[in-house]
Amino acid sequence: MEKEKQVGLTAKKEENFSEWYTQVIQKADLIEYTLVSGCYVFKPNSYSIWEKVQNYLNKHFKELGVKNAYFPLFIPESVLKKEASHIEGFNPEVAWVTQAGNTKLSEKLAIRPTSESIMYDAYSKWIRSYRDLPLKLNQWANIVRWEFKTPLPFLRSREFLWQEGHTVYATKEEADKEVKQILDLYEKVYEELFAIPVLKGQKTEKEKFAGALYTTSIEVFLPNGKAIQAATSHALGQNFAKAFNIEFLDKNSKKQFAWQNSWGLTTRSLGILTIMHSDNKGFVMPPKVAHTQVVIIPILFDKEKEKIIKQCEKIKKDLSNFSVELDLRESYSPGWKFNEHELKGIPLRIELGPKDLEKNQAVLVRRDTGEKIIVKLKDVKKKAENLLDDIQNNLLNKAKDFMEKNTVETSNLNDLEKALNNKKLAKAFWCENQECENKIRQKIETSKILNVPFDQPKSMKNCLICNKKAQKLVYIAKSY
């Protein structure tokens, strides 16, 4: 009974979201807190998901001709300051090293808030001719941004993990093409791996990355009524090339500044995954990112013990294409194990007891719906494969259905406020004036224009703020 109390959730997602989220990430063994606020231990259950993201992206990066590299964690202040608008955008979040042992450093070093500066300083040495282009590098790294807001594991931490791609092209057309290619790839990560639909579009001038020509993003609308930026792909134009002197001789032997992009996806995605699918029983993992896709739990009695274990081992062997755990712990009851594996989000559970063995069957239990399916032993492999596919698709369809049902169109500020306070995602028409954009945030705390979808309607209505002819349809929500 005491163990049972320790395992289960005591808060409900719909009643006390903050406490529910904290319990899920701890009791599902995803996170461990440390003595440094905003810095967390990624336990194997969460880091294994990140490894699947790495494997997926590395495969697709290589298909696009992107190579992995690694650049230093420490950036001299003089290098970071080379791009004025860039450092202005990050300065409040930069953590600095000013002393080594008892010696004060002659120049303070920034702990990497992003790597444009340190990478482009090297790029300026490597690029001389159009023959050196395109240059396409990605690095998997840790990032430190000492935010003043209250940290929240995965979603807003002071140290996080990400991949950052930094590419250089001879022409704007080549660079623009890649920006959307990468954004499409990020959309696939969320839809194909995480079973999460996204809102794809371009950021407003106010919300774009510091120093970029323009920024594109995918945004996710979450069940708690808040949206979050899920990944970004930036067209940097020639801004950084001019700041870092990244020039090349074109085919006519004329000097040209290069065109650059940067793009990234972070471990914030793990928090998005947790919030989107998890429920009051605990964590829910889509099968494609699950560290354990199937757990087999034998219901053991002395008389049939050996036969049951032998059959469970056969099932495990038959499912060798999946990650399968056979839970043979004898110090815990089957019911306790059921609850523990539900809490940790294992997509599919297979139960086998003496009565099942007698009837030549097993019981398969879905984590997403809780449905129990009785299957003949000879059909377990095929049924498990089908169920894992169906669980993945069901989670995506459920998330799509949630977003569609909770999206409303608003035509004025009062309607927008009502919609956002009711935890809705709003679509609205906007004149592209930044003053109108500012009024949204001023009127409704934590709200903002998420992005401008690429697919725009043919006819425009009036701006929801000034009532003048609108230029764009936009997504608006309260956000992290």
* pLDDT surpasses 50 at 147: yes
Q: Mean per-residue pLDDT for 371-394?
A: 98
Structure tokens at 346: 């294992």
Q: Mean per-residue pLDDT for 391-402?
A: 98
Q: Mean per-residue pLDDT for 392-418?
A: 97
Strand order in the sheet with 372-376: 324-326, 294-298, 348-352, 361-366, 372-376
Q: Mean per-residue pLDDT for 285-292?
A: 97
> Which has the higher per-residue pLDDT, 444 or 149?
444
* pLDDT surpasses 70 at 298: yes
For residue 304, the model assigns a pLDDT of 86
- The 10 Å Cβ neighbour count of residue 228 is 19
For residue 4, the model assigns a pLDDT of 45
Residues 6+ apart with CB under 8 A from 275: 21, 222, 223, 224
Spatial separation of the C-alpha atoms in residues 106 and 292, rounded to whole Å: 50
- Note the Cα 22 to chain centre separation in Å: 18
Residue 104 banded pLDDT, cuts 50, 70, 90: very high
- The 10 Å Cβ neighbour count of residue 243 is 19
**Cβ atoms 301, 331 nearer than 8 A:** no
Please give the backbone phi and psi of residue 278, each rounded to the nearest 5 degrees, phi first: -70, 155
For residue 82, the model assigns a pLDDT of 81
Spatial separation of the C-alpha atoms in residues 175 and 159, rounded to whole Å: 30
Residue 2 banded pLDDT, cuts 50, 70, 90: very low
Structure tokens at 342: 């539900």
For residue 301, the model assigns a pLDDT of 83
pLDDT digits (tens, 9 = 90+) for 216-253: 999 999 999 999 999 999 999 999 999 999 999 999 99
* pLDDT surpasses 70 at 309: yes
Buried b or exposed e, range 22-52, using 16+ CB within 10 angstroms: bbbbebbbbbeeeeeebbbebeebbebbbeb
* pLDDT surpasses 50 at 325: yes
Q: Mean per-residue pLDDT for 330-344?
A: 94
Structure tokens at 233: 């792909």
Spatial separation of the C-alpha atoms in residues 228 and 216, rounded to whole Å: 14
Question: Which H or E run includes 161?
Answer: strand 159-169
Q: Mean per-residue pLDDT for 95-120?
A: 95
Q: How far is CA 41 from CA 54, 292, 430, in A?
A: 18, 20, 42
Nearest to 169 by CA among 238, 245, 253, 68: 238
Omega within 30 of 0 (cis) for the link into 134: yes
Q: Which numeric CATH code is attached to 407-479? A: 3.30.110.30
Residue 479 banded pLDDT, cuts 50, 70, 90: very high
Task: Please report, for the chain, the start and end positions of each structural domain, with discontinuous segments joined by +.
Answer: 29-277, 287-388, 407-479
* pLDDT surpasses 60 at 480: yes
* pLDDT surpasses 90 at 439: yes
> Which has the higher per-residue pLDDT, 125 or 6?
125
> Which has the higher per-residue pLDDT, 74 or 8?
74
Query: Whose structure tokens read 């930026």?
Result: 229
Residue 88 banded pLDDT, cuts 50, 70, 90: low
Long-range residue pairs from 105-111, CB within 8 A, at least 24 positions apart, any chain:
107/76, 107/77, 107/78, 108/77, 109/74, 109/75, 109/76, 109/77, 110/74, 110/75, 110/76, 110/77, 110/80, 111/73, 111/74, 111/75, 111/144
Query: Whose structure tokens read 């038959």?
Result: 318
For residue 51, the model assigns a pLDDT of 98
> Which has the higher per-residue pLDDT, 2 or 189?
189
Q: Mean per-residue pLDDT for 437-456?
A: 96
pLDDT digits (tens, 9 = 90+) for 271-280: 999 999 999 9
Domain 29-277: CATH superfamily is: Bira Bifunctional Protein; Domain 2 (3.30.930.10)
Instruction: Tell me the pairing of strands 294-298 and 324-326.
Output: parallel
Residue 85 banded pLDDT, cuts 50, 70, 90: low
For residue 71, the model assigns a pLDDT of 98
Average the pLDDT over each of 148-162, 196-210, 316-330 and give the range with the smallest value.
148-162
* pLDDT surpasses 50 at 472: yes
Three-state secondary structure of 47-105: HHHHHHHHHHHHHHHHHCCCEECCCCCEEEHHHHCCCHHHHHHHHHHCEEEEEECCEEE
Topology of the domain covering 287-388: Rossmann fold (3.40.50)
325, exposed or middle or buried, with CB in 10 Å at 0-12, 13-18, 19+? middle
* pLDDT surpasses 60 at 1: no
Q: Mean per-residue pLDDT for 448-466?
A: 97
Average model confidence (pLDDT) across the chain: 95
For residue 210, the model assigns a pLDDT of 86
Q: Mean per-residue pLDDT for 83-92?
A: 67
Q: How far is CA 318 from CA 180, 292, 347, 384, in A?
A: 41, 15, 17, 10
Structure tokens at 369: 């719906």
* pLDDT surpasses 50 at 254: yes
Report the interhelical angle of 268-277 vs 380-405 (nearest 10°): 90
> Which has the higher per-residue pLDDT, 326 or 4?
326
Spatial separation of the C-alpha atoms in residues 164 and 264, rounded to whole Å: 5
> Which has the higher per-residue pLDDT, 301 or 334?
334
Spatial separation of the C-alpha atoms in residues 126 and 168, rounded to whole Å: 11
Spatial separation of the C-alpha atoms in residues 70 and 378, rounded to whole Å: 49
Residue 81 banded pLDDT, cuts 50, 70, 90: confident
Give the chain's radius of gyration (CA, Å): 25
Q: Mean per-residue pLDDT for 59-80?
A: 96
Spatial separation of the C-alpha atoms in residues 461 and 456, rounded to whole Å: 12
Structure tokens at 468: 């003048």
Q: Mean per-residue pLDDT for 12-41?
A: 97
* pLDDT surpasses 70 at 86: no
Structure tokens at 280: 């009051």
Going by the DSSP 8-state scheme, the letter that residue 289 receives in this structure is G
